[in-house]
Structure 1
Amino acid sequence: MMMRLPKEGYRTIEKIAGPLLFVNKVKGAGIGEVVRIVSNFGEDYGQILQITEELCVIQVFGETMGLSPGNSIVWLERDVIKIPLGIALQGRILNGRADPIDGEGPISCIEMWAPIQGNIINPWRRKSPNKFIETGISTIDLMNTLVKGQKLPIFTGTGLPANKLAAQIAKYAGTDASSNGKEPFLVVFAAMGITQREAAYFRRAFHESGSIYRGVFFFNLAEDPSIERILTPRMALTVAEYFAFERGYDVLVILTDMLHYCEALREVSSAREEIPGRRGFPSYMYSDLASIYERAGCISGLKGSITQIPIVTMPDDDLTHPVPDLTGYITEGQIVMDRSLHGRQIFPPIDVLSSLSRLMNKGIGEKSTVPEHRSLSDQLYAAYGRFKDLVRLKAIIGEEGLTPTELSYLDFGEKFETYFVNQKDKRRSLEETLECAWDCLLTLPKEELHRLPSYLIEEMSFKRGMKF
């Protein structure tokens, strides 16, 4: 963070509550301004959250243990929180304050410093997302397609392999096939409230795959001050905006876990003694989340784009919990992880019937992927939905009560889950995903493929030497 020489100092600390300092009679300060706190135990930095004529509320970035009104002085720095930007950030691992933690030394070749709050995108200049991003995951690429500029969250539950899925997307995601990989692509990965073990897993996964060199990574550990969790996603998005709109990159931002971010927000709100909203979360959490999610998009006249995949843990697998609930209102769809699929060791355990990409139609079709993309997706949805209904029926009347056509749906569903959904930790190109989809669908009778054109069915069955 860039700091200027201090201008004024105050010894009028009234009280300390958790990560907050309450200082009396501060003059000429503004919300968002950086302060420096000097005590007998050293110094730290903070940010002004609220100011009135009588009282100034300061959020401390470090620990407040040891601070007291008698041994501390608050200096106004007359600046806001800024982050250094430059092409040298690529391949680096930073903490929640944007300090390098990868042992590679300080960041060199800094081109500019930018406030982490970012700039609001003018709605008039927003460009509708219209290009495909290939994640390498079949259930997303074919059935819940990610489009450049989209906000597509992943809803997970406690104990589900969300971190593994996040790492897989970070390793394998890339620009759409129509660009032939010529458009520069970057992943900005921000992990909040993770353990040392999880951080080690991410480091190992990114280094082994080589994806460390095409990304910028932020790790906020659970042992770090929770206040840093509020800074981490904003720093990550400021880096993303630099690479997207200054350098022309297509940037994929992965934020995990937004539940940890919101819990830090609740901690600060509680320390400020604000009136709580649902489940103790602050009433302004919707607008706070929107200030993060709405930084995704494409801008007319600029080459780059920012696409977001926030990962949100649902406590007790509850979709109505405030964090996933508000996230769903702001974003454009959701990918839902399923506990029963995970119990059968299927990875990634994505429940396609509960998942949705609202912008999918903007990024698929003849000019983006393949002409039959929508038809294939619809047919898979219809067939898998029928399979789920027949599983419940089979539990009531037994397998002997089902017709041959209904039994073929059971074969399809088993193959779909164990072959199409269950791709393990490997990347599938769109072509491989399409082949897997056809292998599953051709287990059904021809007359059941009513969402696909007959000429396409004949062509694909002929290629496989099959006759209906």
Structure 2
Amino acid sequence: MKGIEYKGVSSVDGPIIVVKRSENIFYNEIVSVRDRNGEKKTGRVIDLNEEIAIVQVFGSTTGLDLHETSVEFLEEPMELRVGDGLLGRIFNGLGEPIDGLPPIVSSKKVDVNGMPINPFARVYPRDFIQTGISSIDGMNTLIRGQKLPIFSGNGLPHNRLAAQIIRQAKIRNSDEQFVMVFAGMGIKYDQAQFFIHSFEESGVLSKVVMFQSLADAPSIERIITPRCALTAAEYLAYEKNMHVLVVMTDMTNYCEALREISTTRGEVPGRKGYPGYLYSDLAELYERAGKIKGSTGSITQIPILTMPNDDISHPIPDLTGYITEGQIVLDRELSQKGVSSSAGLSRSNMNELSEPESV
């Protein structure tokens, strides 16, 4: 119950704490955890039964005492504060500002878990988005409201490609406002700085909302990051009538975090240890792209994932391919030969791209 702190926890195992269940607790509820020194940490309910609730803490559980730790259930899901000041801001994976500026001034908070779009309410994607990369524009065009993933491999220049698309993407023959939302999951610090400097130098940072969950952040934060990004995109698209391009990297890190949490919960694993609900979980994210009747705005997605061992039949690219409309595949052999993106090859809805160059 909100406002009541329950003292004592049953066990602490890594980022997981087990507490006695109280009334009116629900799945994905946000929890405030206070240690014996009064320091507060935030967690989320990831499992529960009739007697206990399992909470994953955002951060370290070092110093939590079984008897002195208190828990308060906040009776609300994870929410993102949205408003007119979103554009040009940089947030961490939980939607907290990390750019040195104050929080968004707004009374509007939105559940990051979102709602599925009614298929009947969708408008068929038709309008062309120019990326400035001939392999994409000429052979596998990006359409407004579409979800078009980039399949890459370790060491291939997918981050440069993503930054180039964000810098150059535009709607031809239109003066409608076009903005970008970037979500980085499990990326290294130098990669995060690369994106920031790239957007600053090209002057597009004022039209970008960035969410960054670095590699040293808790795995649960990587699960929240794309949901925060898509929540911000939905606000800009369906309430501010903007056209939004969402770039999410790296979806493989997201799925690894999902597998880690599933293992912690003791769930029965599926292919290669990933949870059996991996397909539906990815679909929950990808299907938040589109155009809706009655709104002039739209959300277009470019998820980026690195294929383990360059294996396109791995569960992550395999399931992603079932949900999305075609794929862009970065080819290692072409990259080693120095073939630029303007010479990409098309093969059954796939493009083979190497290191992107400015067009």
Q: TM bucket by the smaller chain?
A: over 0.9
Percent identity between matched residues is 47
Question: Partners in 1 of 2:120 and 2:343 — Cα distance?
Answer: 36
Larger radius of gyration: 1
Matching residue of 2:148: 152
Residue matched to 2:358: 426
1:166 and 1:272, CA in 2 relative to 1: closer, same or farther beyond 3 A? same
Deviation at 1:9, TM superposition (A): 2.1
User: Runs of 5+ in structure 2 lacking a partner?
Assistant: none
Q: Does 1:80 align with 2:12?
A: no
Task: Determine which structure has the larger strand proportion and give its number.
Answer: 2
Q: Deviations over 1:54-79 (max 9, x none)?
A: 12111211212222322311111121
1:22/1:349 CA distance change after superposition, 3 Å: farther
3-state SS, counterpart of residue 282 of structure 2: helix
What secondary structure, in the 3-state scheme, does the structure 2 residue paired with 1:142 have? helix
Deviation at 1:334, TM superposition (A): 0.2
Q: Which residue of 2 aligns with 1:59?
A: 56
The structure richer in helix per residue is: 1
CA distance in 2, matches of 1:98, 1:22: 26
Q: Aligned Cα RMSD in Å?
A: 1.9
Runs of at least 5 residues in structure 1 that lack an aligned partner in the other structure: 358-380, 382-416, 428-468
Which residue of structure 2 aligns with residue 243 of structure 1?
A: 236
Match of 2:120 in 1: 124
Aligned to 1:434: none
Amino acid at match of 2:27: I
The residue identity in structure 2 corresponding to 1:178 is: N
Corresponding residue number in structure 2 for 1:368: none
Q: Give the AA of the match of 1:163.
A: N
Q: Does 1:335 align with 2:331?
A: no
Shift of 1:178: 3.1
How big is the shift at 1:351? 5.0
- Counterpart code for 2:266: E
1:136 aligns with 2:132: yes
Amino acid at match of 2:119: P
CA distance 1:350–1:197, shift in 2 (3 Å):
farther
User: Structure 1's 68 and 297: CA in aligned 2 closer, same or farther, altered over 3 A?
Assistant: same
- For the 8 Å contact 2:135–2:342, the answer to whether it is kept is no
Once the two structures are superposed, residues 107-141 of structure 1 have per-residue CA deviations (whole angstroms, 9 ceiling, x without a partner) of 34325111101122111111110110111110001
Question: What displacement does 1:236 show?
Answer: 0.1
**How far did 1:48 drift?**
1.2
Structure number with higher relative contact order (C-alpha < 8 Å, ≥ 6 residues apart): 2
Deviation, structure 1 residue 423:
8.7
Which residue is 1:8 aligned to? 4
Match of 1:285 among 278, 282, 296: 278
Which residue matches 2:246? Answer: 253
Q: Which of 35, 40, 44 is the aligned partner of 2:36? A: 40
Which amino acid is 2:358 matched to?
Answer: K
| Distance (whole Å) between structure 1 residues aligned to residue 276 and residue 258 of structure 2 | 11
Instruction: State the SS of the aligned residue for 1:217.
Output: strand
Deviation of 1:225 (Å):
1.4
Classify the secondary structure of the residue corresponding to 2:346.
Answer: coil
Match of 1:268 in 2: 261
Is the deviation greater in 246-255 or in 66-75?
66-75
Asked if 1 retains the 8 angstrom alpha-carbon contact of 2:335 and 2:354, the reply is: no
Using a 3 Å threshold, how does the CA distance of structure 1 residues 39 and 142 change in structure 2: closer, same or farther?
Answer: same
CA 1:331/1:127 → structure 2, altered by over 3 Å: closer, same or farther?
Answer: same
Determine the C-alpha separation between the residues in 2 that align with 1:63 and 1:245. 37
State the 1:349 CA deviation: 8.5
Q: Which residue of 2 is the match for residue 314 of structure 1?
A: 307
The size of the alignment, in residue pairs, is: 358
